[in-house]
């Protein structure tokens, strides 16, 4: 999906939900605008001694509910429009799950695969220096996203701490445990998604035991989605990455596939499997399809051929509005991104709470609290879907917008 299309998709959801709720133009004007946007140039000394200037962004879409929260992507296709759209999705996600947080997103235009560890560290620190004035534990808290991880977050936290002249572990989330991270953070997005899938299966009468699953994308979220599947009784039969996919009707060992990808650069070629394309994977006859890659994987060109009983959006924006219309007419049970993939930001919120208290929770406690929040959110969205007679996506936006608008009105913003 082109970045402009992702932003158009977000704006289309705003307009549709605004119509459903009868929101006036003043409210829609605020919902369609980001609160703050910052573009920065980041000079970095490369290993060859030359200086290279990278472009970075931070968008704080809405802070009505509290300090903004959102990941930082290092990706060659990033631009301000894509970051703005992703920040908006984060705002709706936080509102839907009743978190005291607003939505933000960050990005740097780069290809991390082409950077040495030293170059990546210098870039991470330069990014924090560039956005230092608008972030902090009570302002905006970055987190990992595509091509960033706990090591990148550690460099960012350390740089912010140097600027502030004191340790500020709560300046970012997604840190290692020994630096104030939260247990369960690495798998949180996927785990939260699986809790929603479990509830959806109960709703539609789908037996999860031996259910066939296909996962598109095998980065952090995709890998953990596959890894957690057996714990819910499911069988992974197909996975893919940017270079292609693999299928085995007898099932895949997610950890063995991960090791193969780490060694060979792709899941393709894993022993005992048949090679398929990403497009083929989406159209497999499976019980549950998990898009866990980048935006725009499901369009009006392929939505009509998708056979999965449940489409669980572990990725942000994997389904275009046109494809969503097709799913709506078919009555397919789609678990929208702002409902399904919020586990990451929820556990990031837990990490913030632990940092404020200077305490660490047991992983079992994190899982229980995450489970409780995801179940509650699913129930709320399902109820709204029935009340307004709309799809699960429209219902999720209705719940999120109602909370956000109520807060803005109470604060006198509209």
Instruction: HSE, CB side, 13 Å, CA atoms: give it for residue 100.
Output: 6
Instruction: HSE, CB side, 13 Å, CA atoms: give it for residue 162.
Output: 10
Q: Which residues have C-beta within 8 Å of that of residue 72, sequence separation ≥ 6?
A: 105, 106, 107, 108, 127, 142, 143, 144, 145, 148, 152, 156
Complete DSSP assignment for 26-69: HHHHHHTS-SEEEEEEEEEE-TTS-EEEEEEEEEEEE-SSSSEE
How far, in Å, CA of 220 to CA of 341, rounded? Answer: 13
Strand order in the sheet with 51-62: 36-45, 51-62, 102-109, 68-75, 140-144
For residue 298, give the 3-state DSSP assignment: strand
Residue 263 tokens read as 């060694």
How far, in Å, CA of 348 to CA of 184, rounded? Answer: 10
Instruction: HSE, CB side, 13 Å, CA atoms: give it for residue 408.
Output: 20
For residue 180, give the 3-state DSSP assignment: coil
CA 263 to chain centre: 26
Q: Which is nearest to 237 in space by CA: 311, 289, 313?
A: 289
* C-beta atoms surrounding 386 within 10 Å: 10
Query: Which pairs with CB-CB distance under 8 Å and at least 24 residues apart come from 178-181?
Result: 179/154, 180/351, 180/354, 180/355, 180/360, 181/150, 181/351
Sign of CA dihedral 397, 293, 38, 142: positive
Are 132 and 164 within 8 A, CB to CB?
no
β-pair type (140-144, 102-109): unpaired
Residue of 69, 93, 105, 212 with catalytic role = 105
Are 86 and 50 within 8 A, CB to CB?
no
How far, in Å, CA of 290 to CA of 101, rounded? Answer: 27
Q: Is 389 one of the catalytic residues?
A: no
The residues annotated with a catalytic role in the active site are: 105
């Amino acid at each position: 999906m082109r970045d402009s299309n992702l932003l158009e998709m977000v704006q289309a959801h705003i307009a549709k939900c605004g119509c459903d709720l009868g929101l006036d133009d003043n409210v829609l004007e605020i919902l369609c605008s980001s609160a703050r946007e910052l573009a920065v140039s980041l000079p970095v000394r490369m290993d060859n001694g030359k200086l290279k200037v990278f472009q970075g962004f931070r968008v704080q879409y809405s802070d009505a509910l509290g300090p903004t929260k959102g990941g930082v992507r290092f990706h060659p296709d990033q631009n301000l429009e894509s970051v703005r759209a992703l920040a908006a999705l984060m705002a709706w996600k936080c509102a839907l799950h009743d978190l005291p947080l607003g939505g933000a997103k960050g990005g740097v235009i780069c290809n991390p695969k082409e950077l040495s560890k030293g170059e990546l560290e210098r870039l991470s620190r330069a990014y924090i220096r560039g956005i230092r004035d608008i972030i902090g534990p009570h302002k905006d808290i970055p987190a990992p996203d595509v091509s960033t991880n706990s090591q990148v977050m550690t460099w960012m936290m350390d740089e912010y701490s140097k600027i502030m002249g004191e340790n500020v572990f709560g300046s970012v989330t997604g840190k290692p445990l020994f630096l104030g991270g939260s247990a369960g953070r690495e798998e949180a997005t996927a785990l939260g998604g699986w809790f929603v899938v479990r509830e959806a299966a109960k709703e539609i009468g789908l037996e999860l035991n031996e259910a066939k699953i296909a996962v598109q994308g095998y980065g952090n979220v995709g890998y953990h989605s596959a890894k957690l599947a057996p714990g819910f009784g499911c069988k992974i039969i197909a996975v893919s990455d940017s270079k292609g996919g693999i299928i085995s009707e007898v099932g895949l060992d997610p950890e063995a596939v991960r090791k193969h990808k780490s060694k060979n650069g792709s899941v393709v070629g894993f022993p005992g499997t048949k090679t398929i394309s990403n497009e083929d994977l989406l159209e497999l006859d499976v019980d549950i399809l998990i898009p866990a890659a980048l935006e725009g994987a499901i369009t009006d060109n392929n939505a009509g051929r998708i056979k999965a009983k449940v489409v669980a959006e572990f990725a942000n924006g994997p389904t275009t509005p046109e494809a969503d219309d097709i799913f709506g007419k078919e009555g397919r049970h789609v678990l929208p991104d702002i409902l399904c993939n919020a586990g990451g930001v929820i556990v990031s919120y837990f990490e913030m709470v632990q940092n404020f208290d200077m305490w660490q929770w047991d992983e079992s406690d994190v899982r229980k609290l995450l489970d409780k929040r995801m179940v509650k959110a699913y129930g709320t969205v399902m109820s709204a879907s029935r009340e307004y007679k709309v799809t699960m996506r429209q219902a999720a936006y209705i719940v999120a917008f109602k909370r956000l608008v109520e807060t803005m009105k109470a604060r006198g913003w509209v």
